[in-house]
Structure 1
Amino acid sequence: MLTKDKLRKYHLDKRSKITFEKINKWSKKICDKFLSLDELNNVQKIMSYISMRKEVNTYPLLESLIEKGFKVYAPYTIKKEGTLGAAQIDDLDLDLQDGVFGVQEPKRELRNKAVPDDLDIIIVPGAVYTKDGYRIGYGGGYYDKFLAEHGQNALKVAFCYDYFIIDDFPVEDHDIAVDLIITENQIIKI
């Protein structure tokens, strides 16, 4: 079995070769599936990653969620602690700035509050997933640490292209599975 590092590198390289036309088409299908979830009927607070490079594009989804009146939170990196914070955003154009690792993050002035302990849904990024909901992220462990601390009561959702769901990889004690994986072709409930 390949190591997580080799799997990460292989799949990120594969993902980098997908055309933006496909990314946009698949992202729309994934986000539409998310918006059709029954679970959205009973939630208020949704945290989502801010997409970069060839990840599933979350920008249109976040704009839609804000327009529909959800409280939307975005992560920011707390590098010295090796984890994430979360701040509410109301406007993607005004509330985000360049952050750590080239990711868009909430502006510093929005980060003055503790992470809400009642996040309803957390949408997490990843390079590759198993059908059991385990993920290989980008290697920093930021999301696993965040989910261990703040995700116990939240529905953990992954957005992933079908191609990046694989049968198996080494799972470690600190790895936290998601509850739902949404791809362009299916919804996998764990």
Structure 2
Amino acid sequence: MPDCIKVVLDTKIERDYLMGFDMTLAVNSESIAKTKIAIRKTIIQKREELGDLEKDEKNLAIAQRLFGMDEFKKSKTVFCFLSTSFEVQTERIIRESLRLGKQVLVPLLDPGGENLQASRIPSMDIDFVIGEYGVRQPAPKFRDIVPFSNIDFVVVPGLAFDNFGNRIGYGGGFYDKFFKKITRDVSRVAVSYDFQLFNLVPHSDLDEPVHFLITETKALRCRDVSGVEV
């Protein structure tokens, strides 16, 4: 079993995946879907077991690694998700971006609930509400929808990743659709804990990869901005 996977796996599909069954999944979309569900369940459970102090230490290390990226230093418009209590915390990333004078955009579901929009925020001290899927979003009076055209740095959530930038999200496909709408030269950066990193995660042609992966112990460049593996 790969050293980077530090979770207890209970089901046959999880065991099969880690023992090499993943190499047969590319031609079987049903197996890909089932394996993603199993991985999501395992990672969510592992994430919920983290203590507050351990999370704080990991979150600080992740933010510091991200701040050291040349791509972040050069960026002018940062699109960053608003984290839930179980995800890598992004408030520090957002506050530092604002302090540096960067424009900060956060995701907001469109009225149809199918696509992400970008809402500009002036600070983290505005009012937020809990939207669909339990995700924070700016309160209606603070929403300032802007086009994607100026985005040059994206911080994206997820449940599992691999060294090639492949990503397993929560199953809605929102970020896959979002990535298809922004230019290819925009830096896509995933933040996660070490235990969310797999040697390989199942993926299909519909899944959009990230370029960089930041954890508490490493900063990986998975692909160049054209999408080519590095």
Same fold (TM over 0.5): yes
Q: CA RMSD in A?
A: 1.6
Superposition TM-score, scaled by structure 2 size: 0.78
| Runs (4+) off by over 4 Å | none
Whether contact under 8 Å (1:49, 1:75) holds in the other structure is yes
Aligned length: 190
Separation (CA, whole Å) in 2 of partners of 1:58 and 1:172: 28
Q: 2:71 aligns with which of 39, 59, 67?
A: 39
Structure 2 CA distance for partners of 1:24 and 1:55, relative to 1, 3 Å: same
Q: 1:148 aligns with which of 171, 175, 180?
A: 180
Whether contact under 8 Å (1:89, 1:95) holds in the other structure is no
1:171 aligns with 2:216: no
Alpha-carbon distance, 1:106 to partner = 2.2
Whether contact under 8 Å (1:20, 1:54) holds in the other structure is no
Q: How does 1:27-176 map to 2 (within 5 A)?
A: 27-78=59-110, 80-150=112-182, 152-176=184-208
Paired residue type of 1:119:
I
Consecutive unaligned residues of structure 1, counting only runs of 5 or more, are none
Whether contact under 8 Å (1:75, 1:106) holds in the other structure is no
Alpha-carbon distance, 1:95 to partner = 4.7
Whether contact under 8 Å (1:86, 1:115) holds in the other structure is yes
Whether contact under 8 Å (1:86, 1:111) holds in the other structure is no
Paired residue type of 2:112:
K
1:183 aligns with 2:183: no
Consecutive unaligned residues of structure 2, counting only runs of 5 or more, are 1-16, 18-33, 223-230
* Cα shift readout 1:41-93 (whole Å, capped 9, x = no counterpart): 32200011111021111112211111111101100123625221111111212
Structure with larger Rg: 2
Structure-2 residue corresponding to 1:7:
39
Separation (CA, whole Å) in 1 of partners of 2:61 and 2:183: 26
Question: More strand per residue: 1 or 2?
Answer: 1
Whether contact under 8 Å (2:161, 2:168) holds in the other structure is yes
* Cα shift readout 1:92-127 (whole Å, capped 9, x = no counterpart): 121532222121112334445343212010100001
Paired residue type of 1:17:
E
Paired residue type of 2:58:
W
Paired residue type of 2:125:
D
Superposition TM-score, scaled by structure 1 size: 0.93
